[in-house]
Structure 1
Amino acid sequence: MKIKSKFKKVFNLKMSFSLVWESAKKWTLLSTFLIVLQGLVPLVSLVVIKVIIDTITESVQSAAPMDSFQRIVILISLLGCTSLLNMFIQSMIHLTQEHQSLLVTDHVLDLLHSKSIEVDLEYYENPDYFDTLHRTQEEAIYRPTRMVHGLVRIIRSGISLAAMAGLVVALHWALIFVLLFAMLPGLFVRLKASQKIYAWQEKRTASQRKAQYYHWVMTSDDYAKEIRIFGLGPLFIRQYRKIRVKLRKEKMNLLQHRISQDFLTKIWSIFIVTALYALLANYTLQAQLTLGTFIMFYQVIQRSQHFFGDILNGLAALYDDALFTSYLFDFLKIGPRIKTQKNSLFFPVPIRSGFKFYNVSFRYPSAEKMALKQINLHIKPGQVVAFVGDNGSGKTTLVKLLCRLYDPVEGSITVDDIKLTHIEISELRRQFGVLFQDFARYHNTARENIWFGNSDGVERESKKIIDAANLTGAHHTIESLPDGYDTLLGKWFESGEELSIGEWQKIAFARCFLKDAPVVVLDEPTSALDAETEYKIFHQVQKMKAEKTIILISHRFSTVRMADIIYVLDSGKIIEQGSHRQLLKLNGKYCRLFKMQAEAYNAT
């Protein structure tokens, strides 16, 4: 099973080539041609050098040595041209490979981004997913291009070696096997070292992510205030150093072990090659070889050793890259579990009977406890529906199921008696305008922050963006910024303007309203708003009631009481339901929570 697994990883070579070919066909062909051409140049150089040395030797021994000077100058000029050609090819290879690498890296990142968007939300709550993503980002992105370049270099060295082999065999066929015997131990050392590094990388991914997390905490503006107030800087530095020191020691131990073994294999190689040089010197002293032939064979063996080394090291690097490229292909194999069934239906417009939950239960993939248990409810079109309850009671989870960010583990959800699983996912999600409690703050312009709510349906310069900002009170804030709607928000980039959390929430509200969806979901929508803004926004929500279905999640009963029907959740179950007046008469949990909040207001 272990051998089969390793074979599959090495088989990534074919997939890597497909990836590179798909990204940069022309540049791959040009790079391959130039490298193959470069592989033939050394043979020409060696032959020219041999002829030059033999011509000089013959001329020195002749009666008129200067008669050959013109021929020698031509040969030396030819050698210079060969060197110049080699330099030109090398420059062109560098240019083509750089262009190819940029294209492939961008393509791989496109695949990475597409897969990150495609996968289900549950993956973002799974540490194994983040381990896979981290390994992909750290190691796998540049490997496919390196594998292709490595294989092409192996081919180039193979062509050069094949050319040299003809000359080596002319001296003695056994020399090929002697050179191979000198280099093979180094290959085995490299392959073994690659396996150990790969295993260590896989084992220590979680630790590397933990160190990266501490780095992010210490350098991110999200934590800057608390780190200073609570004096957490020295503690996090110690935690970061502790992890990094352990990782560094382990990696250095692996490297030292590899270098020591590699050194021993090099001693072995040098011993074999030195013996060959002694044999050539003996043949030359016995006049079995000319001086030019001796120098040529000396360089042939030297270069053959170099090309052998290139090939064997290239094979080891190829194996190493193939192992690490498996991270990328493992990541790309991740598929969404939430899928649209065949023969999907359109979302009903307008909604007539509404949404219904039938015995819906749900548990998060990494959790043991049920988040929702046997939920039955009906959300009618044009209603304002509110969910209230303690933290963790399942309020936001209901909304996630409604938007099909998750699917129930039991039961079903329908809209106009059509199961949500029968409606195309993107079509379904287009019907919801959602303001989550942990809304996003995009470090883009103020205009784009709102436009992102309906980027497919509204032009970037549309007046609807300003209208949406007016509905939420964000317009006045944006107009006061240096460049108005074209002001960059946040502090990540130059000239960015930071907003208060309440101002960010107004913009998030505007983004939600711009979508103009038939169902609006507001999850703790006024948690950061002042009382006046809250009143104005909910006045707008009341006006939407005739056209839209409004779903509220809030701890503020001043907000909740406007709902047509209120569902009270406790530990994933609906324990009460009704209008504000009905629930007060019931004198249950809702009544108790309402009175507690009212008393707090009265006390002030």
Structure 2
Amino acid sequence: MTMYIQRAASIIRLLKLIVKQNPRLTILWMLIPLLSGFVIVPLAAAERHLIDTAINYAGSGRARILQAAWPSLVTLAAASAGAVFLGMMKRLTDTYMANRASRQLMMEIQSHAIHVPLEQLESPDYYDRLSRAQAAAGQALTSILFSTAETIRLTCALAGMIVVAASGHWAIAAMLFTVSAIVLIQRVRLEITVKQAARALTTDGRMADYLKQSLAEPSVLKELKVFQALSYMIEQWFGRVRTYEITRNNYRRREGRMAAWFGLSFLLLLFASLAIIIGQLDQRTVTVGTAAIVFQTILQAQGVPLQMSWSLSRLYIQGAQASDLADFVNGSIPLHAHQQLAWNEAIHTIQFDNVGFRYPGAHSDVLRGLNMTLRAGQTVALVGDNGAGKSTFVKLMLGLFEPTEGRILINGHDIRHLNRQSLYTQLSAVFQDCGHYPLTMREYVTAGSSSAAASSDDREIQRVLQLCGLHSLAEGSHGLDQKLTNVWADGRELSGGQWQRLAISRAALRSSSVIALDEPTSAVDPSGELELYNMCKALSTGKLAVFVSHRLGWARYADRILVLHDGNVVEDGSHEQLMALNDRYASSFRSQASWYEPEQLNTAAL
């Protein structure tokens, strides 16, 4: 019972979320199935009156019968037309509601995903939650809404039938309610069991289909015959099919037995109601019309619990998905506590004050105890082994992550107290996994640019692209209007190196005072690496430039080298100073340089 309550609560939470976003549409969407269900009451009343009129006015002449029957005929026609209209409106509102709610919830999910702190993006649990929420906001949401609307309609229809049955006698209404409730509960339990069993059997069914297809492929048959494994694989396939079919047939037999009992229950209800109605007719407390519509209503009521069980069982199964969606959308997004100070000046210093960082759910710090000051005009190389924390250092410096210990000061101000949007106008970056967006070249390199000239003057864009070695792309037949990625019919897919050069061009166009380059040449061949480094250094003149690379050939040209190891800066100095220190950096530099020394290569070959 607890599980049923939890699933129902999840559905209600999701519906509350939808009502909050679309209050008027939701009211209309829920009102239509409610009216559609209760339309049986005026229909039954009109039919009863027509039957009684026909009996009472038999032999009185056509004109008199029509005169007495026309109000009922009008009511019957209006109710029938209303039922058709409401059915059409239900289909329209169900579809419109599902599409609108799905679109809005997808946007809500995307908004949460965009604004969530980036350190959470490193957590597998976050991606699991995001994936489940996205799945629930798609086809699952449509099914939930359709099932909810159908459940409302059928509940109202059953309530209307009980009202009609009560016109014959209160005992008939009580019996109809009791039998329908028992049948509904048992059917829902069975449907849920069958659906859960079907999910458990998915693997067997899928494996059986896969084996069946494989056993018809010549390449598979050839191999199985050579290794004399054909009979074994056939047994495997037959075993899967047999398990799948036996389980399904067991549930079909169970469904059949239950359907027989349910049919018998309604048959007994029908005879009991008939006995009561006959007694009422004998006492002249009910009319023939009443007896007819009560009898007809009981016959119609047999299918309602079956249909309701389908809708309710689907809602139960999808309750978990509703919970995933509601939890994600209603989940609070941690906000920066003091984003108040607007930033409108160039960055002169970035100070790490005893900074440490640990990823959510991790058991140890990635970085700890960092104390240093980076100054404008410096070219800083950040080096270290894989997992040393270089990329995390850059994300902390750019304000993408917040330190879990200590603080980062920008010109003496705690970065947590600065307005991030204004701060980001002074920051620029090139990451090794730069985005491949389906834009034109002009749109790509000026996206987010704070330079008015860069966003309006093609000559500035052409100059930067030429410096980055992309003049051949910029001077092509489409020029700066060249569409990127093969998403476009006439788009162009770039190589990894070209994408990185384009990302560097975009970073260079920003009028920022800090630029970070995280492995900017990871997709560039060695022959173009030095050229690209010189170009990056020229474009970052006067700025604080932080380079991250495993290739230490870059580091020798930096003003300052920081060596990260086990979450700490273990060496800090120029190339000459660290080579003289003859420690970790010097050892790594000589190791890399040895690959380019002929005598070392010959020794390695021997």
Pairwise same-fold verdict (TM > 0.5)? yes
Once the two structures are superposed, the pairs formed by residues 447-596 of structure 1 within 5 Å of their partners are: 447-454=442-449, 463=458, 465-480=461-476, 483-530=478-525, 534-596=529-591
1:160–1:597: structure 2 CA closer, same or farther, 3 Å change rule? closer
Distance in 1 between the 2:245 and 2:435 partners? 41
Please say which of residues 65-74 and 115-124 is displaced more in the overlay. 65-74
Distance (Å, rounded) in 2 between the aligned partners of 1:262 and 1:186: 12
Q: Corresponding residue for 2:264?
A: 271
Q: Note closer, same or farther for the CA distance 1:91–1:253 as it changes in structure 2 (3 Å cut).
A: farther
Matches within 5 A, 1:244-283: 263-281=256-274
Letter in 1 for 2:468: T
Conserved? CA contact 1:183–1:309, under 8 Å: no
Question: How many Å separate the matches in 1 of 2:197 and 2:390?
Answer: 42
CA–CA distance in structure 2, aligned partners of residues 193 and 419 of structure 1: 61
Structure 1 counterpart of 2:83, one-letter code: N
> Deviation at 1:290?
6.2
- Structure 2 residue aligned with 1:327: 324
1:251-303 deviation line (CA, Å, top 9, x unaligned): 99998887666555443332121123234555677864766444311222234
Instruction: Please state if 1:87 is matched with 2:80.
Output: no
2:191·2:310 contact (CA, 8 Å) conserved in 1?
no
Count of aligned pairs between the two proteins? 561
1:436 corresponds to: 431
SS across alignment from 1:392: coil
* CA distance in structure 2 between the partners assigned to 1:264 and 1:203 by the alignment: 23
Distance 2:427 2:242 in 1: 52
Instruction: Report deviation, 1:522.
Output: 0.7
Question: How many Å separate the matches in 1 of 2:7 and 2:451?
Answer: 41
SS in 2 for 1:20: helix
CA pair 203-307 structure 1, distance change in 2 beyond 3 A = closer
Mapped to 2, the partners of 1:39 and 1:265 lie a distance apart of 26
Q: CA RMSD in A?
A: 4.3
AA aligned opposite 1:183: S
CA gap of 1:425–1:262, structure 2 versus 1, over 3 A, is farther
Confirm or deny: 8 A CA contact 1:566 1:577 kept in the other structure: yes
Whole-Å Cα distance in 2 between the matches of residues 249 and 503 of structure 1? Answer: 56
CA contact (8 A) 2:339 2:420 kept: no
Q: CA deviation at 1:460?
A: 6.5
The yes-or-no answer on 1:600 pairing with 2:595 is: yes
After superposition, the Cα gap between the structure-2 partners of 1:107 and 1:561, relative to the gap in structure 1 and judged at 3 Å, is same
- Residues 1:105 and 1:385: Cα distance change in structure 2 (over 3 Å): same
Change (3 A) 1:395 1:325: same
- Aligned AA (2:409): T
1:19 aligned to 17, 25, 44, which one?
17
1:193-208 map, 5 Å: none
Summarize the alignment of residues 23-172 of structure 1 with structure 2, pairs less than 5 Å apart: 23-56=21-54, 62=59, 68=65, 79-141=76-138, 153-172=150-169
Q: Is the 8 A contact 1:358 1:377 kept in 2?
A: yes
Specify whether residues 10 and 427 from structure 1 end up closer, same or farther in structure 2 by C-alpha distance, changes over 3 A only: farther
**In the TM superposition, what is the alpha-carbon distance from 1:152 to its structure 2 partner?**
5.2
Contact 1:186-1:262 at 8 Å conserved across structures: no
Which whole-Å CA distance do the structure 1 matches of 2:582 and 2:347 have between them? 34
In structure 1, what is the Cα distance between the partners aligned to 2:198 and 2:362? Answer: 28
Whether the aligned pair in 1 keeps the contact of 2:11 and 2:319 (CA below 8 Å) is: yes
Query: Taking structure 1 as reference, are residues 113 and 584 closer, same or farther at Cα in structure 2, changes over 3 Å only?
Result: same
Contact 1:194 1:319 in 2 (8 A): no
Question: What secondary structure, in the 3-state scheme, does the structure 2 residue paired with 1:329 have?
Answer: helix
Verify the 8 A CA contact 1:27 1:97 in the aligned structure 2: no
Counterpart residue type for residue 367 of structure 2 = L
Greater displacement, 100-109 / 584-593: 584-593
Cα distance in 1 between the residues matched to 2:457 and 2:249: 62
Superposed CA deviations along residues 489-524 of structure 1, whole A, max 9, x for unmatched, are 223453332211111111111222233321100112
Report the AA paired with residue 44 of structure 1. Answer: P
What amino acid sits opposite 2:267 in the alignment? T
Confirm or deny that 1:295 pairs with 2:292. Answer: yes
Gapped regions of structure 2 (runs ≥ 5):
208-238, 602-606
Task: Tell me which residue corresponds to 1:422.
Answer: 417
CA shift for structure 1 position 529: 2.8
- SS of the residue 1:454 aligns to: coil
Q: 1:259 to 1:502 in 2, by over 3 A?
A: same
CA–CA separation in structure 1 for the residues paired with 2:243 and 2:421: 47
CA distance in 2 between partners of 1:545 and 1:571 (Å):
29
Secondary structure of 2:486's aligned partner: coil
The letter for the 1-side match of 2:45 is: V
Deviations 1:51-98, CA, capped at 9 Å, x for gaps: 444455567x64868974787799667645543332222212222332
- Match for residue 386 of structure 1? 381
Higher mean C-alpha deviation, range 256-265 or range 594-603:
256-265
Instruction: Assess if the C-alpha contact under 8 Å between 1:453 and 1:512 holds in 2.
Output: no
Question: Does the Cα contact within 8 Å between 2:7 and 2:319 map onto a contact in 1?
Answer: yes
Q: Does the CA contact (< 8 Å) of 1:20 and 1:144 recur in 2?
A: no
Cα distance, 1:378 vs. partner?
2.1
Counterpart code for 1:136: A
Which amino acid is 1:180 matched to? Answer: F
CA distance in 2, matches of 1:186, 1:257: 20
Q: Distance in 1 between matches of 2:137 and 2:12?
A: 15
2 CA distance for matches of 1:489 and 1:248?
49
Shift of 1:455: 8.2
Q: Quick check: 2:355–2:369 contact (8 Å CA) kept in 1?
A: yes
Worse-superposed segment, 499-508 or 193-202: 193-202
Question: What does residue 604 of structure 2 align with?
Answer: none
**Correspondent of 2:336 among 335, 340, 356:** 340
> What percent of counterpart residues are identical?
27
Q: Which amino acid aligns with 1:37?
A: L
Contact 1:344 1:423 in 2 (8 A): yes
1:334, CA displacement in angstroms?
Answer: 4.0
Report what 2:180 is aligned to: 183
Separation in structure 2 between the aligned mates of residue 325 and residue 250 of structure 1, nearest angstrom: 32
More moved, 383-392 vs 526-535: 526-535
Amino acid at match of 1:490: T
